[in-house]
Amino acid sequence: MTVASETPHLTVRTVPLRDHHALLGHLPENAPLAWLHNGDGLVGWGEAARLVLPTEDEPDGQRFDTAARWMSELAANADVEDSVGLPGTGPVAFGGFTFDPRSSGSTLIVPRVVVGHRAGRVWLTTIVDRPGAHPDALLSPVTSARYIGPLNWSDGTLSAEEWGDAVATAVQRIKAAELNKVVLARDLHAEADNTIDVRTLLFRLARAYPNCYTFCVDGLVGATPELLLRRAGGDVTSLVLAGTRPRGTTPDEDERIASELMASAKETEEHRYAAESLRAALTPLASTIRLPDQPELLRLANVQHLASPASAALRDGVSTFDVIAAMHPTAAVGGTPARAAMDLIRELEGMDRGRYAGPVGWIDARGDGEWGIALRCAHLDGSRARLFAGCGIVAGSDPEAELAEADSKFRVMRSALAD
């Protein structure tokens, strides 16, 4: 494990670029890092520093405290020359945290090279161990992204029938007043003949879902619609998503489905729990919170969600990782009450989610950054991909309907993997 006292002394230089090529075109094949939204974002490669966080028995926020200390010490120990001065310039870490603190895999990675794009400006950041050194990672060859080829698909931990039984059990426990809501996830496995080129998935996801946040951190790749938080200075914004329906095949069908979603007691109940969870998490950390009384409709390429945009002004001294610790797990990916939901997830899912449904994103030395919830994603390991999809279960949930919803969420990564 890397600990906060072992942060290296780094020399960091950020300069403007005139290069306006797409960010993904800069990436070499080996271990790319990415965070993209509507063409803006960051890509990185190489590794100047890494923090691997320990597992924890209790969700007391210790891993987020450790991450905050490590990032603060790394920034204090760095010699920084930044002629751009935007969020995402200077020292930047890409990170991902496991859904369950008992799971291993939470990590922060500071790349050797970062290319960023925001509001029409492009920049290059290089991170080396001594002044005047040239990052070898800058010379990493950029090859063409490879096709994936045929795939062999197999069930994950639970078959569709077994997962449907788990949903039915969860509904019984909710009706028995043990909890209000739980989010149950499934996994699905795919294997290719050769190593899967993550850049192929990134290109396809960014093109198909430009309004989502396309990410890749340490092998976890996806396009999440759910922004956990964006921080700029002392302000944070977030987006609550809970309540889902598929898109229609015609405009009339699409409108009918949207109207049913907005009128659904089950879906609006699920969304209300998520919004109330966010408000409760932010209240101790913020001087003001703005959250709409009623959700709006967010339409994506494959599904439509009930959505509530939120914003808050943080109190002095509150770090970005303080906010992440308070917000995770949201009711949209865990349930409510949070501890009872986590216990039921451990009992019924029968699997380790890893970093699925955990916070994923980036942070700079000022504390600015963007973090999403790792949804619509897959973990890649050589030629293998493990896909994830989850559904919010409340008293009115139907197992067959939840299976259909999970299948619609799997389609994001299944399509990205299909040549």
Q: Which domains does the chain have, with CATH numbers?
A: 4-132+149-417 (3.60.120.10)
- Quick one: tokens of 96? 């991902």
Q: What is the dihedral of CA 266, 272, 273, 276, to 10 degrees?
A: -170
Distance CA 114, CA 91 (A): 9
- 181 catalytically annotated: yes
- Radius of gyration (Cα) for the chain, nearest Å? 21
User: For the segment 172-216, what is each residue's pLDDT rounded down to a tens digit?
Assistant: 999 999 999 999 999 999 999 999 999 999 999 999 999 999 999
11-17/79-82 β-pairing: parallel
Position 6 confidence tier, pLDDT thresholds 50, 70, 90: low
What is the maximal distance between C-alpha atoms in the chain?
66
Position 418 confidence tier, pLDDT thresholds 50, 70, 90: very high
Distance CA 275, CA 295 (A): 9
Angle at 300 between CA 290 and CA 23, to 5 degrees: 90
User: For the segment 310-366, what is each residue's pLDDT rounded down to a tens digit?
Assistant: 999 999 999 999 999 999 998 889 999 999 999 999 999 999 999 999 999 999 999
- Quick one: tokens of 341? 């939901």
pLDDT at 5 over 60: no
Global confidence as pTM = 0.92
pLDDT (0 to 100) of residue 347: 97
- Element (DSSP H or E) covering residue 82: strand 79-82
Amino acid at position 338, single letter: A
Catalytic one among 29, 181, 370, 405?
181
Q: Quick one: which of 178, 193, 104 has its CA closest to 147? A: 193
335-336/181-192 β-pairing: antiparallel
HSE-up (13 A, CA, CB side) for residue 267: 24
pLDDT (0 to 100) of residue 3: 42
Q: Which residue has the higher pLDDT, 399 or 5?
A: 399
3-state secondary structure 346-383: HHHCCCCCCCCCCEEEEEECCCCEEEEECCCEEEEECC
pLDDT (0 to 100) of residue 4: 41
What is the 3-state composition of the chain as percent helix, strand, coil, each rounded to the nearest 5?
30, 35, 35
pLDDT at 7 over 80: no
Distance CA 194, CA 216 (A): 19
pLDDT (0 to 100) of residue 140: 82
Amino acid at position 304, single letter: Q
Catalytic one among 58, 162, 226, 400?
226
User: For the segment 241-286, what is each residue's pLDDT rounded down to a tens digit?
Assistant: 888 888 899 999 999 999 999 999 988 988 888 888 899 999 999 9
